[in-house]
Amino acid sequence: MNCEIIAVGTELLLGDIVNTNAQFLSQKLSSLGLDVYHQVVVGDNLGRLVEAIKLASSRSDIIITTGGLGPTDDDITKLGLAKALGVEMVLELNSLERIKSHFIGYGKPMPIINERQAYIPVGCKAVANDNGTAPGIIGEYGKKTYISLPGPPREMIPMFEEKIMPYLKQKSNYIIKSHTLKVIGIGESAIQECLGDIIIGQSNPTVALYAKDGEVQIRITAKTQDEGLAYERIKAVEKQIRSILGINIYGSDEDTLESVINSLLQDKNKTIAFAESCTGGLISSRFTDIPNASASYINGVVCYSNDAKINMLGVNKETLIKYGAVSMETAEEMALGIKKISNTDIGVSITGIAGPSGGSDTKPVGLCFIGLAIDDIVKTYSYIFNGNRRRIKWQASTKALDILRRTILDIEVK
């Protein structure tokens, strides 16, 4: 069966609110084996909403709306559904009592305007809202199913998970399971070439590539009637992909580059400190987002100026005069310096030109040097990153973390 999601609200069209409801619903519907072929956003206009519901009814089996269930004049979803179906609205007494109880719980009488929320199209059933005043609705008309959910995620999500999902499970004989592999150090087009035969020959499971900031995600999705069979098929394809991409796959599903590195450091009982110039503490910020990072992360220093590099890390003034702050030599001394003052096993440094100004013919915007001191060895790496200031900083921090990951695994960094 296929579904269509209609999000109602002019604020969505204006970009005042991001439509996270559609993302959530698509993911949940997919897990139930229900296909989502269309997503629509409609403003608070009754005529256009009726039009959108009729169009959805012509091409989809299950139509789900979010938003527009409040008590004000611009909350038109249920009325729009009633008009699209050609039925009247009727007062649902249980819903009215629940709404009144909601206000009593706050020690207030129910405003008369809220009575509107208790009206539903004839033929629909109300779905109790445990987190707000707006009840949802479910209606079956012929072979079509209509579901209306409140707009606020704190109301919509629990209503869907607790009351709508059990209902929809009866509508599908299939389940859809996905597994995501996370790849770094190789671009999307190169991965496409490497996995050409797998991608061309895909049917079930399917394989899809998604480019993210500094990495590529490979989603393997199987649709079956048995969960065990779905995972079996996914595992077989994953084995093929891992045999091709190898160490470039740094993790899967909920893994992040930082969390994987943190686990590696703790497994090897290693400690680390970061010295950052152009990234301004971004690497430390990313790393300390991980729970239990303190077991491996000791210290982070933002040494933006030359004086900071000299006074905080012990970088030689002569090095800065001769080679400049953005240089292989400075990155090396920064890495050694942070390792020494923090008394860690590993020191990582980064210095560069994030732009948009400050570049030259010999040292263009985007040029970054990364230093890594581990045990008695120090290595430095040079890269040029493209994009705006934020993107250059993110790419530089990601590359530094991947160099660290590969070094811990004793893999040669190119």
Amino acid found at 187: G
DSSP 83-151: HHHT--EEE-HHHHHHHHHHHHHTT-PPPGGGGGGGEEETTEEEE--TTSS--EEEEEETTEEEEEE-S
Please state whether 324 falls in left (phi above 0), alpha (psi between -120 and 50) or beta: left
**Three-class SS of residue 189?**
helix
Q: 267 phi and psi, to 5 degrees?
A: -60, -35
Distance between CA atoms of residues 20 and 152, nearest Å:
10
The owner of tokens 């989809």 is: 60
CATH 3.90.950.20 domain residues, the chain: 257-408
Going residue by residue through the chain, which has 414 residues, state the pLDDT in tens, using 9 for 90 and above: 899 999 999 999 999 999 999 999 999 998 888 989 999 999 999 999 999 999 999 999 999 999 999 999 889 999 999 999 999 999 999 999 999 998 998 899 999 999 999 999 999 999 999 999 999 999 999 999 999 999 999 999 999 999 999 999 888 888 888 999 999 999 999 999 999 889 888 888 999 999 988 899 999 999 898 889 999 999 999 999 999 999 999 999 999 999 999 999 999 999 999 999 999 999 999 999 998 899 899 999 999 999 999 999 999 999 999 999 999 999 999 999 999 999 999 999 999 999 999 999 999 999 999 999 998 899 999 999 999 999 999 999 999 999 999 999 987 776
CATH 3.30.70.2860 domain residues, the chain: 175-252
Q: Which CATH architecture has domain 175-252?
A: 2-Layer Sandwich (3.30)
CATH number of this structure's domain 2-169: 3.40.980.10
Candidates 215, 146, 204; CA nearest to 176 is 204
The 10 Å Cβ neighbour count of residue 32 is: 17
Distance between CA atoms of residues 333 and 251, nearest Å:
32
End-to-end CA distance of the chain: give it in Å, rounded: 48
Q: Which CATH architecture has domain 257-408?
A: Alpha-Beta Complex (3.90)
The owner of tokens 């992909």 is: 241
Predicted pLDDT at 44:
95
| 42 close to 48: Cβ distance less than 8 angstroms | yes
Distance between CA atoms of residues 78 and 89, nearest Å:
8
Strand pairing category for 297-302 and 272-276:
parallel
Q: Residue 176 is encoded by which pair of tokens?
A: 């859809």
Contacts of 97 (CB under 8 A, 6+ apart): none
Adjacent-strand bridge partners of 274: 300, 348
How many angstroms separate the Cα of 342 from the Cα of each of 153, 225, 247, 281?
A: 44, 55, 30, 16
| 54 close to 86: Cβ distance less than 8 angstroms | no
CATH 3.40.980.10 domain residues, the chain: 2-169
0.85 surpassed by pTM = no
